[in-house]
Chain A
Amino acid sequence: MIRLENVSKMYGNETPAVRDASFDVAKGDFVFLVGPSGSGKSTLLRLVNRQERPERGNVWVAGRNINELPNSQIPFLRRTMGNVFQDYKLLANKTVFENVAFALEVIGKPRHLIAQQVPQVLDLVGLAGKEDRFPNQLSGGEQQRVSIARAFVNRPFILLADEPTGNLDPATGEGIMSLLDEINRTGTTVVMATHDHRVVNAMRKRVIQLDRGVIVRDQERGVYE
């Protein structure tokens, strides 16, 4: 589903953010990218959704080399993946329902489909009944659930999560993790960047560890260390 071949990414002339990274993520995998801040986890995610282009190497998604993708095709690549962030990136002036519906609206989905799919996904993430709340009326965990609902409503092949539990207390973070696990069980490939030991150790999934832009460990059923 995702394949990186000797990928390097620099910002300016400083030391590379990612150096010579290669790995394969199969369909339906759950992968943790771990490492301290600045080790290149977020950059790897941004390379996969084409927010960044590598200086060297190739990134393949669903069998396509996305470096060779013309700009006009990027939106269609992004429709095959959902993104979740540490700061949720919800729109404050829209309700829960509208935030999720927005993702379908801007890719031109018909209204009746939106009316059908949004309640389904809100039910899945456990927010049924809170459709009309605004983000500032929700707890952090609930806001993250809205953001996951928005990422998943279009049933993407891939879910990219950048520190989704970073702003949450441990119990709330656990809830988010079991939600991501549930989504993973539907066949969605999940790649999650984190430096949250507890989460990684509890899940025992594949762990790719980064240190200053270099992959130093790639282990099935790994722990954080």
Chain B
Amino acid sequence: MIQRVSYALRETLANFRRNVTLSVAAVITSAVSLLLVGTTFLIQRAFDNLLVQWKGDVGMIVFVRPDVQPDALAFIEQTIKSQPNLVKTEEVEYLDKTASYEEAKRVFAGDPTTLSLLSIDTIPTQFKVVPSTTDPELVRSLASQFRGLPGVSGVALAEDEFEVISTLSGFVRTVTIGMSLVLLAVAVILIWNTIRTAIFARRREIEVMKLVGATDWFIRVPFILEGLVQGLVGAIVSCGGLWALNSAWTNGVAGFKAGTGVSALVVPSGYTTGVMVSLLVIGALAGGIGSGVASSKFLDV
């Protein structure tokens, strides 16, 4: 068994060396495509941070003072829900201090100064309101009505803040996902072609192997491993690139003035690690599948 493993590894390495240019091309292509896939994930996550407050058609947020009295809070809720013509009353959602603080952690991910000023006791709680009318004037007048209520510290409107970004986010997602899929397909085709060339270069050896009774899997495994390694090396390179990009971006954002909104466009490092692990898995799978298909297609008995 150990002998077979060492045989497979030796052959994989030998193939890689025999075919340096093609292998390098395959690695670079998979690295670039995976980097794009990873960037897509991160951009999407950054936009999500920015928009987390406005998920699910929320059009208006009514912020409530942290020191509000329970009867004042009840009155605010009652007032909001007394407008069934303008507000989807069943979708009005109240975020208490804990929930609001969790959300703030994402909104101010890149702005630790602001975040440190907030605590679970000092954070405003909030009502998320989904308007049922599309008329912006009506929503505005509703907002100014809520602003006057005792205990309300402010009202924010989606159309003022993030509608443009929301649209932009959708567009960027479509473009980057499309591009990365095309590049990933190119990477798989390149790996497939590398394996085909490797098989052609070793056809005499393979012929002898078959005649002396090597099993198909024994012949195939080094080729599949080669493709898998190409995909994996590409993925490792792309992880390095992603890490560099993300830290450059995070440092850049830290230089913006606090409270400009851009500060939310930062991705927590735990999430980045998750993306990198996915890239490694995608790279290995793409390489393994490309070479697996090629080796079964070109190694037929």
A111 at the interface (CB under 8 A from B): yes
Stretch from A72-80, A166-174, A177-185 at the B interface: A72-80
B214 at the interface (CB under 8 A from A): yes
Q: Once the chains bind, are A106 and B204 in contact (CB under 8 Å)? A: no
Please provide the chain A residues from 81 to 125 with a CB less than 8 Å away from any CB of chain B in the complex. 82-83, 89, 91, 102-103, 105-108, 110-111
Complex Cα–Cα for A78 and B219 (A): 15
B209 at the interface (CB under 8 A from A): yes
B161 at the interface (CB under 8 A from A): no
Can you name the residue of chain B whose Cβ is closest to the Cβ of A49? B211
| CB-CB under 8 A for A79 and B204, given A108-B3, A108-B218 | no
Least distance between B212 CB and chain A CB atoms (Å): 4
Q: Once the chains bind, are A107 and B213 in contact (CB under 8 Å)? A: yes
| CB-CB under 8 A for A89 and B208, given A105-B7, A108-B4 | yes
Flag B265-283 by CB within 8 Å of A: 1 or 0 each: 0000000000000000000
A71 at the interface (CB under 8 A from B): yes
B204 CB contact (under 8 Å) in A49, A89, A103: A89
Contacts of B216 in A (CB 8 A): 71-72, 75
Please provide the chain B residues from 187 to 222 with a CB less than 8 Å away from any CB of chain A in the complex. 204-205, 207-216, 218-219
Q: Once the chains bind, are B207 and A110 in contact (CB under 8 Å)? A: no
Complex Cα–Cα for A110 and B3 (A): 7
B208 CB contact (under 8 Å) in A71, A74, A91, A154: A91
Secondary structure of the B side of the interface?
helix
Can you name the residue of chain A whose Cβ is closest to the Cβ of B202? A91
Least distance between B218 CB and chain A CB atoms (Å): 6
Contacts of A83 in B (CB 8 A): 211-212
Contacts of A71 in B (CB 8 A): 216, 301
Q: Once the chains bind, are B214 and A106 in contact (CB under 8 Å)? A: yes
Q: Once the chains bind, are B3 and A111 in contact (CB under 8 Å)? A: yes
A150 at the interface (CB under 8 A from B): yes
Q: Once the chains bind, are A75 and B213 in contact (CB under 8 Å)? A: yes
Can you name the residue of chain B whose Cβ is closest to the Cβ of A110? B3
A-B contact pairs, 12 of them (CB 8 A): A75-B215, A77-B213, A82-B212, A83-B211, A83-B212, A89-B207, A89-B208, A91-B204, A106-B219, A107-B212, A111-B3, A150-B212
Spell out B's residues near A (CB within 8 Å): 3-4, 7, 204-205, 207-216, 218-219, 301
Spell out A's residues near B (CB within 8 Å): 49, 71-72, 74-79, 82-83, 89, 91, 102-103, 105-108, 110-111, 150, 154
Closest 5 A-B residue pairs measured CB to CB? A79-B213, A78-B213, A106-B214, A103-B212, A75-B213
